[in-house]
With several copies, the nearest count.
Chain A
Amino acid sequence: MKADHALRGAVEALLFVSDEPVSVSTVSRLVGARPTEVERALQTLSEEYRDAERGFQLREVAGGWRLYTHPAFHDTIEEYVLSWDTRRLSQAALEALAVVAYHQPVTRQGVNAIRGVNSEAVLSSLVEKGLVREMGRDPGAGNAILYVTTRTFLEKFGLKDLGELPPLEEFAPDPKTESAIKERLSAIEGPPLAEDDEPAEID
């Protein structure tokens, strides 16, 4: 049936771009079909994949439906993932990651401003490694891409959410250094720098 095919394709495309289980109600809303129809399409897809011995399968798990690779190919995928570039993170990458973690969402310009050097290459390598991802754009900054950390990042550090990051204040320079900075700042007449000379916000 033509209509069935269109619905099936839309559901498939949606599952394809998702990296977490999608609920029937979400699918239903996005593809504009009744939940029962969606449910049936999901069942059909799942059977189709199984019958055709595809490399992936559609499973219903907590929270909805999600595409998974077929367990039969576990070893092949394992070998593939193990072959990924194993070079450790450079100091530059660690700095950029730290800035994104604490200032997210942040634009590349924001990262540049804090690090004082161009961070383009280093950010893309973090994206490649799945530690940082793009999330939308900042209309206030010429639609610059905003970067956030990924779920992989949280998992690697065993964090439930970003609120669990240790507060930065704990790691601020000691009070002596801080007061020295303040003194020197106040010794200069007028505002230290015009507002718009500051490329980024520190908070």
Chain B
Amino acid sequence: MSYQVATEIFEGPFDLLLHLVSKRKLDVNAISIADVAGEYVEHIERMRELDLDVASDFLLVAATLLEIKAASLLPQPELFLDEEFEDLSPEEARELLVVRLLTYKTFKNVALELGARMESEARMHPRQAGLEERFLKLMPDFLEGITLRGLAVICADLLHRREVFLLQAGHVAAVPISLDLHVDRVAKTLAASGRTTFGELVSAGCSVAEFVVTFLAILELYKRGDVEIAQSTAFGDIELVAVGPRERKEEGS
């Protein structure tokens, strides 16, 4: 999951929110829901700046906070995005959030305790030294009737089956053709000449798969807004004109 990087600091939206409501001095009733909401959104913005994909979980809590904030500044019935928070008044949503945070904090505390426990436990090593020779022969012979040869045959057979499997998988799925690679190739052609056609991009000897992937690459570039597409006649060649980088270059010159 892409917010895993962020989780090194905060394990989730509750963790972040808990951090925000906890970090101020306790005896000062200073920080309001508005501040918390503001800081929360700031944090998310920072995560985005760091190019961390902000998970929907974080956004959901942000939305809820903003709803509560809006409602508390300007009381009016609002709807909440989360199913759970849906149909709740801001007051109820706030109560629910408090309960959830308290529960989360409880488990965060337990997790700390479990972590400490596991660590101290790891300093004790259980006896598992294995049987003395004289008892080994008493152990049920799990390998009864199994020969070394038998074991070797099993292993060789597995490797063989794997080869055949990979072979067939390769056969059925053909050679995977990388779309990214083709997008790059088309983009490079466009960057060099500014325009090209589908006919120029595919050569006569191309496989059907390459036709398809080249077409997909063009669609991908179109989706990104890097290219304009025109086809003057039905079944005629598709003409491509570069958009993005060229225009920027012209603006610059």
Q: A residues touching B (Cβ–Cβ < 8 Å)?
A: 13, 15-19, 56-57, 59, 66-71, 74, 77-78, 81-82, 84-86, 88-89, 91-92, 94-95, 97-99, 101-102, 113-118, 121, 129-131, 150-152, 155-159, 165-166, 168, 170-173, 176-178, 180-194, 197-200, 202-203
Contact = CB atoms under 8 A, between A and B. Distances in A.
Interface string B95-137: 0011011111111111111110111111111111111101110
Contact of A116 (B26, B57, B72): B57
Interface residues of B, number: 101
Nearest to A59: B124
B131 A130 contact: yes
Interface in B117-176: 117-132, 134-136, 138-144, 146, 148-167, 169-171, 174-176
Contact of A193 (B143, B146, B166): B166
Given A81-B131, A188-B33, A203-B109, A88 B119 contact: yes
State the 9 A-B residue pairs at the shortest beta-carbon distance, nearest first.
A117-B12, A171-B156, A116-B14, A19-B129, A94-B111, A71-B123, A98-B155, A74-B123, A171-B109
Nearest to B169: A193
A73 to B, nearest CB: 9
Nearest to A159: B148
B135 A81 contact: yes
B212 to A, nearest CB: 16
Given A89-B115, A115-B14, A156-B141, A94 B154 contact: yes
A98 B22 contact: no
Contact of A185 (B94, B127, B153): B94
B118 A156 contact: yes
Contact of A177 (B22, B24, B128): B22
Contacts of A89: 115, 118, 142-143, 146
Contacts of A156: 118, 121, 141, 143
B155 A171 contact: yes
A132 to B, nearest CB: 11
B31 to A, nearest CB: 5
Contact of B114 (A101, A181, A194, A199): A101
B50 interface: no
A102 B107 CA distance: 9
Most chain B CB atoms below 10 A, which of A70, A113, A184? A184
